[in-house]
Amino acid sequence: MSTSDDAYLALKEKNATQMTRREKWWHIMDTYKIGIIPLPLFLLAGALILIDCLAGKLPSDIVVMVATLAFFGFACGEFGKRLPLVGKLGAAAICATFIPSALVHYGLLPEVVVNSTISFYKSTDILYLYICCIIVGSIMSMNREVLIQGFLRIFVPMLCGELVGMVVGMAAGFALGLDPFQTFFFLILPIMAGGVGEGAIPLSIGYAAILHMDQGVALGRILPIVMLGSLTAIVLAGTLNQLGKRYPHLTGEGTLMPSRRGRMAAMTEDAGRPDVNALACGALLAVLLYMVGMLGHRLIGLPAPVGMLFAAVAVKLANGVSPRIQQGSQMVYKFFRSAVTYPILFAVGVAITPWQELVNAFTIPNLMVIVCTVSALVGTGFLVGKKIGMHPVDVAIVSCCQSGQGGTGDVAILTAGNRMALMPFAQIATRIGGAINVSVGLMVLGHFLT
């Protein structure tokens, strides 16, 4: 063999070795992940965040906060997923929300991270961007027949669930020797009030006016109950998800109604794969529809997410956008569902989840009333949904959202239940159902005290 042949074989061997090393690196990047983040990128993000923290300044601009929220959010979510037993019952969503809250309370999270996260969350209203992309994308993904029937029928299990939940909650309070007035107005009603902004705060204002108490005191008693109700609903949603996996005939995997054309999106088989332009148009559609909802809020007082929801349904039913843009909306929905959920939950935990108030409300009587109320509400939704021809697991997960902590609770509950496509119905349960409960509850309270 000539010298040139030896040189060629040596070069070939060297290239093969290099290729093997490169492929091994790619294998590490594609196989080992924290959430959706490749492990090397996760470690790099952690190192860069640590350098900023040691320097005493972590910028709150969107570039840095994307990396920060992704790092901490997926770390907390991954921890929850790997917990034995409870890891399959919604622990990822619980950990992504409540671990940050505890870390802030006990001073274990660097102050620069806390300050930057709070500043970013409150200045950007990132939660509303998330919700509008999820709602519009999921509506555009639905079969029109399923969409119409789902919106018409969902109110039946919602109403039945609330009535049964109130009765069971009152019975549990009576059995525990609690005062019926306190049980209903400071335990049961806050659970079904629709969260914080649209539920707990208006309720506290009403209590302050009618009961002649300080609003801060009223809110301090109501808010922890809302959080515990949402926590219970998250666990139940995770349990329902496991039930659906064991008994597939009970679930539509994100659809409320059986459809002749199948489950999730029977909409655009002939539209092809969406390109970047369709993706951009889908995101813009979500933003514009949210602006329509904001206009409705200014004109008639309807919450902006609800107005956006109705506008999106109208566009879908009227075939107002092409199948290509509908697919773009669906891709936006999938991106936000997989990439933004846990970072959002981390931000919520840091910015607006008070750990000490949750701990203070964690008493055995309170917990038993809350668990009984939420379980009865969800169980009734399951049974009524099955009775009227809906997928009972999916209906019950929507019923869980009736006890959620507003929009943030909906995100956590649907994440635990792996049913983010149900966000439009969750918003109905939370916003419309909560507003009705608060209004009727305050009217009843005012009537009996005058």
Distance between CA atoms of residues 259 and 261, nearest Å = 5
Domain that holds residue 328: 124-258+275-449
61 belongs to a structural domain:
no
Residue 34: φ, ψ to 5°: -110, 105
Q: Any residues with CB less than 8 A from the CB of 387 and at least 6 apart, and which?
A: none
Half-sphere exposure at residue 303, Cβ-oriented, CA atoms within 13 angstroms: 21
Looking at residue 91, its amino acid is A
Residue 413 zone, left/alpha/beta (φ > 0; ψ -120 to 50; rest): alpha
Quick check: 80 and 91 in contact, CB under 8 A? yes
Q: Any residues with CB less than 8 A from the CB of 54 and at least 6 apart, and which?
A: none
Integer CA distances (angstroms), 249 to 108, 392, 395, 415, in order: 45, 9, 14, 21
Q: Any residues with CB less than 8 A from the CB of 103 and at least 6 apart, and which?
A: 109
191 belongs to a structural domain:
yes
Quick check: 420 and 172 in contact, CB under 8 A? no
pLDDT per residue of the chain (450 residues) written in tens, 0 to 9: 455 566 555 655 655 555 577 888 888 888 899 989 999 999 999 999 999 999 888 998 899 999 999 999 999 999 988 888 777 777 888 888 889 989 999 999 999 999 999 999 988 888 888 888 888 888 888 777 777 777 778 889 999 999 999 999 999 999 999 999 989 988 999 888 877 666 777 787 788 888 887 766 777 778 788 888 888 999 999 999 999 999 999 998 888 887 654 444 444 444 556 678 989 999 999 999 999 989 988 888 777 877 888 898 889 888 889 989 988 998 998 899 889 989 998 998 898 778 887 787 778 898 999 999 999 999 999 999 999 989 999 999 999 998 887 777 888 899 889 898 888 888 888 877 877 888 888 888 877 765
Integer CA distances (angstroms), 28 to 70, 71, 330, in order: 19, 18, 30
Distance between CA atoms of residues 323 and 327, nearest Å = 6
Residue 34: in which H helix or E strand, if any? Answer: strand 33-34
Residue 143 zone, left/alpha/beta (φ > 0; ψ -120 to 50; rest): beta
Over the Cα atoms of the chain, what is R_g? 24
> Could you identify the residue written with the tokens 């139940």?
236
pLDDT value at position 262?
44
Distance between CA atoms of residues 130 and 305, nearest Å = 11
Integer CA distances (angstroms), 300 to 135, 229, 289, 293, in order: 21, 30, 16, 10
2 belongs to a structural domain:
no
Closest CA to 147 of 398, 317, 286, 392: 317
43 belongs to a structural domain:
no
268 belongs to a structural domain:
no
Cα angle 343-344-346, degrees, rounded to a multiple of 5: 65
Q: Any residues with CB less than 8 A from the CB of 30 and at least 6 apart, and which?
A: 38
Distance between CA atoms of residues 225 and 173, nearest Å = 14
Quick check: 422 and 138 in contact, CB under 8 A? yes
7 belongs to a structural domain:
no
42 belongs to a structural domain:
no
Largest CA distance in the chain: 108
Q: Could you give the number of structural domains in the chain?
A: 1
Tell me the two tokens of residue 31. Answer: 């196989």
Quick check: 318 and 147 in contact, CB under 8 A? no
Q: Any residues with CB less than 8 A from the CB of 185 and at least 6 apart, and which?
A: 207, 441, 445
Quick check: 337 and 134 in contact, CB under 8 A? yes
Distance between CA atoms of residues 445 and 434, nearest Å = 16
318 belongs to a structural domain:
yes
